[in-house]
Amino acid sequence: MIFWPVVFWVHFSTILQIVCGRKWNDTGRGTIIFEEAWTIPALIDQITSNVPPVGQTNADLKINMLDIHNQRLAGMDANGVDYMVISCASPCIQGISDQATAEAMARNVNDQLAATIANNTFRFGGFASLAMHNATTAAQELKRTVVELGFLGAMINDYQQSGPDDETLLFYDQPEYDVFWEMVTSLDVPVYLHPRANIAQIQNLLYGHAPWLRGPTQEFAVTLSTHVMGLCTNGVFDRFPKLNIIVGHLGERLPSDLWRIDDQLARQVPEGMPMRRNLSSYWRTNLFETVSGNFATLLFDLHKKQIGLDRILYSVDYPWVAMSQGEAWLKELAETMSSRDLWALKRGLAVEVLRLNH
């Protein structure tokens, strides 16, 4: 239950942000991270088969997932993190098939997150959780969280499962979702597309022979990269040229394969593909990637050449990944990157994309 004094404070603090501008921990030096998971007790059982960081147990992972102001904040202080944007751990609302239940839970999660960080918006911001069964409803909830709760955008965990047997999968590259993307662009906020575990029927078919490939090793990148390419090839960015989508884990491998993708998709133009440009070009105008949970320096260097450093942002993927691991990687980069480029990766671009100073 959220008590009325807390609700009042959430709305009052949001009004102050609108009138006075957002006040956040802008040291000019520390990092800004925003693929950082949290959940509520009602959804903690969604976290089942994931492997915690080395040296931690599943119990440790769940404790860290529920926490904001204790070990999470201490970890930020110890590792030079100025500001963290928090979002609901995957699959969150995308793992709820019933539309009414999902919509009510999305509102509940958003209200709980806003109430939990209300006493320290100097260090924490939020991404909205959304039920994506109905584009109009999702658009209105996004608007509520941005305008009333002061959230910075949305985190959507890949496709929305739906239907009585969880077998209807909803992808957001179809025209019926244009009303949602229109709202996103009118609010001028980013949407972070994050992976999710597939429904059981797909997991069993594709990974039953090698269950170790489920999750971040293989499954996440394969499924989400297909969804992202669907947005491109079905013309979403052509219809909404100002739309900003963020993809984590070094772009779920897509920027590593752009030549072949463009070469093969050129053959689909005579078949009626709606996309008006090369897919690779959207990485220069609409798509960003973060390095979350993928601190591979050689791959990072390749992506700088492929899409440009001005499309790459830092994040950690806490608590799946330790903040100290990301900080250690940044210190390694400092030996070879210019201070200006490192500053842009760590925080400079994030300030712009998240509109922290607006």
State the pairing for strand pair 168-170/160-162.
antiparallel
> Quick check: helix, strand or coil at residue 193?
strand
Residue 310 annotated to the active site: no
Q: What are the tokens at 344? A: 């842009």
**Burial grade of 270 (CB within 10 A; 0-12, 13-18, 19 or more):** exposed
Task: Say how far apart CA 115 and CA 111 lie, in whole Å.
Answer: 6
Q: How many helices (H) and strands (E) does the chain have?
A: 15, 10
CB 89 within 8 A of CB 65: yes
| b/e burial code for range 58-88 (CB count within 10 A of at least 16 → b) | eeebbebbbbbeeebbebbeebbbbbbbbbb
Question: Residue 28: which residues within 8 A CB-CB, separation 6 or more?
Answer: none
Residue tagged active-site, from 82, 111, 158, 317: 317
Residues with a catalytic annotation lie at 317
